[in-house]
Chains A and B, each alone.
Chain A
Amino acid sequence: MIPVFFLQSRNPNAFSKYIRPEYLVIGIEVLLANFLVIIAIIYLNLYLRKRNFFYKKEINQQLEAWITKAILDEPDKVEQGFEIPRKFNRVLKKFNARQIVIDELVAIRKELTGAAAKNIIVLYEQLGLKKHSLNKLSSRKWHVKSKGIMELYIMDQNDTLKRIYKNTNSNNEFIRMEAQIGVIHMTGFDGLRFLDVVSYPITEWQQIKLLEQLRLSREDGQLAMHIPKWLRSKNDTVVVFTLKLADAYQQFSVHDEVVKALQHPNEMVRIQAVKTLVRIANTFTPQILAEHYENEHFTNRLNILDAISKIGTEEQAWFLIGLLDDESDVIKLKAGKAFAACFKYGMEALEERGKAKKGAYQKIYLHIKAELGR
Chain B
Amino acid sequence: MNWQTIENILFAILSYGIFIYSVVLVLSYIFIGLFSIGETNTYLKKNSFTDYRLLAASPHAPSISILAPAFNEGNTIIDNVRSLLSIYYSNLELIILNDGSTDDTLEKLIEAYELKPVDFFVNYQIPTKKVRNVYRSTNPVYNKLVVVDKINGGKADALNVGVNIATNNYLVCIDVDCILEQDALLKMIKPFLEQTDKKIIASGGVVRVANSCIVEHGQLVKVRMPENYFARMQSLEYIRSFILGRMAWSRLNGLMLISGAFGAFDKEVVIKSGGYNHNTVGEDMELVVRMRRYLEEHNEAYEVKYIPDPLCWTEVPSTTEVLSRQRNRWLRGTFETLKMHRIMFFNPKYHLMGVISYPFWFFFELCAPLIEFFGFMFFLIFAVLGLIYWDFFFIYLVFVISFGYLYSAFAIYMEIITYNQYKKRTEVARLILTALTEPFYFHPLVVWSAIKGYMYLITKNKGWGEMTRVGFGKRTTASKIAEAVATAVAEATEPMEKPQVIRLTLWQRITKLYYDIKVRPFPVLRAGFKDFSRYAIVFTLLFFINRIFELAFDAYKHGIPQLFWKVIGLSFLKDISFILQTGIIGFSIFFVIYIFHRRTARIFLIVLSVLLLIIQVGLSQYFTTTLVPLGADVWGYSWNDIKLTVGAAGIKISLVLIFVAFIGLIIAAFVFIPRKIKVNNTWAFCLFTALILGISFDVENKANKLLPGQEYSNNLSINKSYYFFSATLDHFFPAKVNQDIYTDTYSGDFNSDEKAETGTIATHHYIDEQEYPFLHTIDSSADVLSPFFNKSPTPPNIVIVLVEGLGRAFTNKGAYLGNFTPFIDSLAEKSLYWENFLSEGGRTFAVLPSFMGSLPFAKNGFCELGDRMPQHLSLLSLLKYNGYNTSFNVGCVSTFDNMNIYLKKNNIDVINDEPTYPANYVKMPASASGFSWGYGDKELFRRFLETKQNPQQPYASVVLTVSTHSPFFINEQDYYLQRFEQRMNELGFDEAQKNEHRNYKYQYASILFTNDAVRNFINEYSKRPDFANTVFLITGDHRMPEIPMISKLDRYHVPLIIYSPLLKRTAKFSSVSTHFDVTPSLAMWLKRSYGLQMPSAVNWMGTGLDTARNFRNIHAYPLMQTKTDLIDFVMGNYMINGNDLYAINSNMDLTRETNNDAELLKLRGAFDKFKFKNNQFLNGYKLVPDSLIQKYLKK
Residues of A within 8 A of B (CB): 1-16, 18-19, 21, 24-25, 27-28, 31-32, 34-35, 38-39, 41-43, 45-46, 49, 142-143, 146-147, 150, 174, 177-178, 201, 203-205, 207-209, 211-212, 237, 244, 248, 299, 329-330, 333, 360, 363-364, 366-367, 369-370, 374
Contact = CB atoms under 8 A, between A and B. Distances in A.
A31 B405 CA distance: 8
B121 A35 contact: no
B48 A4 contact: no
Contacts of A205: 55, 190, 193-194
A10 B925 contact: yes
Chain A contact residues: helix, strand, loop or mixed: helix
Nearest to B26: A27
A195 B190 CA distance: 23
B25 interface: no
Contacts of B197: 201
B648 interface: yes
A360 B124 CA distance: 11
Nearest to A15: B15
A351 to B, nearest CB: 12
A366 B119 contact: yes
Contacts of A15: 15, 18-19, 653
A329 B121 contact: yes
Contacts of A3: 625-626, 645, 966, 1041-1042
B268 interface: yes
Contact of A24 (B48, B395, B432, B897): B395
A32 B402 contact: yes
B622 interface: yes
Interface string B35-76: 000000000011011000011001011100000000000000
Interface stretch (B173-181, B407-415, B512-520, B1084-1092): B407-415
B220 to A, nearest CB: 21
A34 B622 contact: no
For the complex of A and B, the 9 pairs showing the least CB-CB separation, nearest first, are A366-B119, A367-B121, A4-B649, A31-B402, A7-B649, A205-B193, A9-B928, A204-B193, A143-B45
A5 B625 contact: yes
A366 B196 CA distance: 40
A46 B412 CA distance: 12
A39 B402 contact: no
A318 B84 CA distance: 43
Given A12-B928, A15-B653, A38-B406, A143 B48 contact: yes
B4 interface: yes
Contacts of B58: 208, 211-212
A39 B121 contact: no
A239 to B, nearest CB: 14
B648 A4 contact: yes
Contacts of A38: 406, 409-410, 412-413
A189 B425 CA distance: 52
A244 to B, nearest CB: 7
A364 B45 CA distance: 50
B822 interface: no
B895 to A, nearest CB: 12
B403 A333 contact: no
Given A38-B406, A45-B416, A208-B60, A27 B399 contact: yes
Contacts of A32: 402, 405-406
A81 B689 CA distance: 111
A42 B428 contact: yes
A256 B599 CA distance: 74
B403 A31 contact: yes
B650 A363 contact: no
A35 B406 contact: yes
B625 A2 contact: no
B268 to A, nearest CB: 7
B61 A1 contact: no
A164 to B, nearest CB: 15
Contact of B655 (A6, A10, A12, A43): A6
Nearest to A25: B395
B971 to A, nearest CB: 13
Interface in B91-147: 118-123, 125, 136
B550 to A, nearest CB: 13
Contacts of B618: 6
A209 B637 CA distance: 85
B969 A10 contact: yes
B967 interface: yes
Given A42-B413, A42-B416, A363-B121, A204 B928 contact: no
B151 to A, nearest CB: 17
Nearest to B420: A49
Contacts of B929: 13
A146 to B, nearest CB: 6
Contacts of B645: 1-4
A42 B409 contact: yes
Nearest to A244: B60
Interface of B: 4, 7-8, 11-12, 15, 18-19, 45-46, 48-49, 54-55, 58, 60-62, 118-123, 125, 136, 190, 192-197, 268, 391-392, 395-396, 398-399, 402-403, 405-406, 409-410, 412-413, 416-417, 420, 423, 425, 428, 432, 618, 621-622, 625-626, 633, 637, 641-642, 645-646, 648-653, 655, 804, 843-844, 896-897, 925-930, 962, 965-967, 969, 1041-1042
A187 B558 CA distance: 95
Given A28-B398, A143-B45, A4 B646 contact: yes
A32 B432 CA distance: 14
Nearest to A34: B406
A28 B928 contact: no
Contacts of B403: 31
A103 to B, nearest CB: 10
Given A2-B642, A211-B60, A11 B268 contact: no
Given A16-B392, A43-B425, 10 more contacts: A1-B804, A32-B402, A39-B409, A46-B416, A46-B425, A46-B428, A174-B49, A203-B196, A329-B121, A333-B123
Contacts of B420: 49
Nearest to B646: A7
Contact of A12 (B192, B625, B926, B1042): B926
Contacts of B7: 9, 11
Contacts of A248: 60
A174 to B, nearest CB: 6
Nearest to B124: A329
A10 B45 CA distance: 60
Contacts of A1: 645, 804, 843-844, 896-897, 962, 965
Nearest to A43: B425
Nearest to A7: B649
Contacts of B402: 27-28, 31-32, 35
A41 B759 CA distance: 98
Nearest to B392: A21
B431 to A, nearest CB: 10
A204 to B, nearest CB: 4
A164 B456 CA distance: 63
A218 B54 CA distance: 19
B193 A11 contact: no
Nearest to A103: B48
B399 A209 contact: no
A43 to B, nearest CB: 7
Contact of B625 (A6, A41, A178): A6
15 contacts: A3-B625, A7-B927, A8-B649, A10-B927, A11-B11, A12-B928, A15-B15, A24-B396, A28-B399, A31-B402, A38-B412, A143-B45, A207-B60, A333-B123, A367-B119
B927 A329 contact: no
Q: Which of A2, A6, A46, A364: most chain B Cβ within 10 A?
A: A2
A35 B409 contact: yes
B406 A178 contact: no
B121 A178 contact: no
A270 to B, nearest CB: 16
A11 B117 CA distance: 77
A363 B649 contact: no
